[in-house]
């Protein structure tokens, strides 16, 4: 499909969950491409400090993606500080609690859906109208291969990422003819705090810089979905076509129980304690 070209040199890019991990690496990649970047995060002190490393091309802002008013203030501040309008929005903020489904608390389930799903909904509902009015713009929603391939111990996380994949695909269709594109990036296991303490076994692992590079590439390609690594996306799609008995053998070999039975509880507790305080 053809979309109006977005030149990254001088473009305004807003990124959520940008104080660490994938979000911070993505901010660094966009700054390197010449973009002006607004970094949003719940941890205001950390995101301001993170943005400072990029100099005048970036600014850190307080952002609670579960609160639509907070999200609106973030986008308004980005436009005012960086001299909008917004060219690219990256919905990256996310949480990944792990536990057997019957042991997960209702409060953490709700947090997962609020951050991972409603955070994306809020961002698109706020950013897309202006993009449609101008006739150009790009939204990147960072989902997960867990949005295609369910794993034990991550049931509600899986549900949230399945939701993001479907939400992104349907919204992309609705944007046809407006000049605005919606892309989804689906990482495998990423070496960040999000998956800390979980031994993913033979499942493919990637660096946050790999995801950042994929996000930036979508501004040029406008691809509907980009899996990282790409072969894992092919495998996840193919899994839906194979007999369940065969897939169960593959799952066993791939340690699909990693989020339950292959966890360093001491390391993992640091991350879980942080999100449980949100």
Strands 58-62 and 180-187: unpaired
* Residues identified as active-site: 157
Could you tell me if 127 and 141 are in contact, meaning their C-beta atoms sit under 8 angstroms apart?
A: no
Distance CA 20, CA 46 (A): 8
As a dihedral over the C-alpha atoms of residue 122, residue 225, residue 60, residue 11, rounded to 10 degrees, the angle is -100
Distance CA 37, CA 231 (A): 31
Distance CA 179, CA 136 (A): 5
């Amino acid at each position: 499909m053809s979309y109006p070209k977005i030149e990254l040199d001088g473009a305004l890019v807003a990124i959520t969950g940008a104080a660490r991990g994938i979000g911070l690496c993505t901010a660094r990649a966009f700054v390197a491409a010449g973009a002006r970047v607004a970094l949003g995060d719940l941890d205001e002190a950390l995101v301001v400090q993170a943005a400072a490393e990029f100099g005048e091309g970036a600014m850190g802002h307080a952002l609670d993606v579960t609160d639509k008013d907070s999200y609106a203030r973030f986008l308004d501040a980005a436009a005012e500080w960086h001299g909008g309008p917004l060219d690219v929005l990256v919905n990256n903020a996310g949480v990944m609690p792990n536990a057997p489904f019957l042991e997960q608390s209702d409060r953490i389930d709700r947090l997962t859906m609020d951050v991972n799903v409603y955070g994306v909904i809020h961002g698109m509902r706020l950013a897309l109208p202006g993009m449609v009015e101008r006739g150009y713009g790009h939204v990147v929603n960072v989902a997960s291969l867990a949005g295609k391939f369910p794993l034990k111990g991550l049931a509600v996380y899986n549900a949230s990422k399945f939701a993001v994949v479907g939400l992104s695909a349907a919204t992309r269709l609705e944007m046809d003819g407006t000049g605005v594109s919606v892309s989804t990036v689906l990482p495998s296991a990423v070496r960040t705090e999000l998956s800390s303490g979980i031994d993913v076994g033979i499942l493919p692992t990637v660096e946050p810089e790999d995801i950042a590079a994929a996000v930036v590439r979508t501004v040029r390609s406008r691809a509907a979905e980009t899996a990282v690594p790409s072969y894992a996306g092919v495998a996840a799609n193919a899994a839906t076509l194979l007999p369940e008995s065969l897939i169960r053998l593959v799952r066993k070999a791939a340690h699909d129980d990693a989020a339950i039975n292959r966890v360093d509880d001491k390391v993992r507790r640091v991350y879980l304690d942080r999100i449980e305080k949100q």
